[in-house]
Amino acid sequence: MSERKAPAADELLRLDGITVRLSGREVLHDVSFAIRPGEFTGLIGPNGAGKTTILRVILGLLPPSSGTVTVAGAPIGGRRHHRRESVIGYVPQKLLIEPDMPLRVRDVVALGIDGNKLGVPFPSRARRELVNETLRMVGADSFADKRVGELSGGEQQRVMIAHALISQPRLLLLDEPLANLDIRSAQGIVAVLAKLAREQQIAVLISAHDMNPLAPVMDRIVYVAAGRAAVGSSEEVLRTDVLSRLYGQHVDVLHVHGRVVIVAGEDGEDTGSPHDGAGQPDPVYGSGVA
């Protein structure tokens, strides 16, 4: 299922044979996939499968043991090397911030412009309008003057998406943005992201252990289990044979009332691939892909 071909000119991101070993344990094995502009890709898999590790490798926070990451057509460190930060916007997992953190929503979004720079920013009209416009884009303008620590989880996600968007990235990485959100907030976030991908050709790579809320908008799935990845459309990936090979044990992909349910097989039938037991198949649910 790995995509091994010459990098196409329009690829924003390509991972080639990424393997990561952490203190002797292989947490990612030979992961390859590519992302093009405007594509909505779900990075799906159970907790502990390696989704966050993949995002960390893409962000340059974790050097892979082998394999290459190519951003906007040029390998990292190469001659035509694009600065990752200018191409990729990143939305981290749930923030842990206290209500007394002195950052209003508009301060957080402004930090997206130049929060990595020294000195004090010069306030300007253009700056303020850029912040307002970005807040409107994600539907966060109504609470622009609230402190970010006082917001709900869904509101915080919108703010962090605006924070990532304001530097006009071409690829947006989101780490479990829907975890711990109620269904309505999750749908709101997915709608915002789908609109960005469609209207601004921003590629979206979003990790989730539950593919259910993403199913209607996902163009492709990168399914991760036990440190391996299967890549393709929902129909190509969500199959008993493909996922059993990935998990290294028999799993059933069940289509129940238009939803997809993935459960471990009863017999624990060995498919022959060596595994150390990481990433046991928790049930993973999806819908609308059958």
Chain positions contacting other proteins, by CB under 8 A = 59-61, 84-85, 88, 90, 92-95, 97-104, 107-108, 111, 114-121, 138-143, 145, 147-155, 160, 163, 180-182, 184-185, 187-188, 190-192, 194-195
Answer whether 171's CB lies under 8 Å from 89's CB.
Answer: yes
- 169-207 in b/e burial notation, b at 16+ Cβ within 10 A? bbbbbbbbbbbebeeebbebbbebbbebbeeeebbbbbb
Nearest approach, Cβ of residue 231 and other proteins (Å): 23
Nearest approach, Cβ of residue 276 and other proteins (Å): 27
Answer whether 164's CB lies under 8 Å from 171's CB.
Answer: no
Nearest approach, Cβ of residue 281 and other proteins (Å): 26
Nearest approach, Cβ of residue 198 and other proteins (Å): 11
Of 8 and 61, CB closest to other proteins: 61
Of 1 and 95, CB closest to other proteins: 95
Of 187 and 280, CB closest to other proteins: 187
Of 60 and 265, CB closest to other proteins: 60
> What is the C-alpha to C-alpha distance for residues 116 and 113, in angstroms, rounded to an integer?
8
Of 191 and 256, CB closest to other proteins: 191
CA 123 from centre of chain: 32
Answer whether 289's CB lies under 8 Å from 215's CB.
Answer: yes
Nearest approach, Cβ of residue 219 and other proteins (Å): 16
Nearest approach, Cβ of residue 87 and other proteins (Å): 12
The DSSP annotation for 34-49 comes to EE-TT-EEEEE--TTS
Of 58 and 246, CB closest to other proteins: 58
Question: Using DSSP, how many helices (H) and how many strands (E) does the chain show?
Answer: 8, 13
Nearest approach, Cβ of residue 111 and other proteins (Å): 5
Of 173 and 224, CB closest to other proteins: 173
Q: In sequence order, what are the residues at sequence separation of 6 or more whose Cβ sits closer than 8 angstroms to the Cβ of residue 192?
A: 137, 138, 139, 158, 161
Nearest approach, Cβ of residue 126 and other proteins (Å): 18
DSSP 8-state assignment for residue 95: -
Taken in order 59, 60, 61, 65, the sign of the CA dihedral is positive
Tokens read off for 96:
């842990």
| Beta strands 25-35; 13-22: pairing state | antiparallel
Tokens read off for 198:
């469609």
Of 150 and 252, CB closest to other proteins: 150
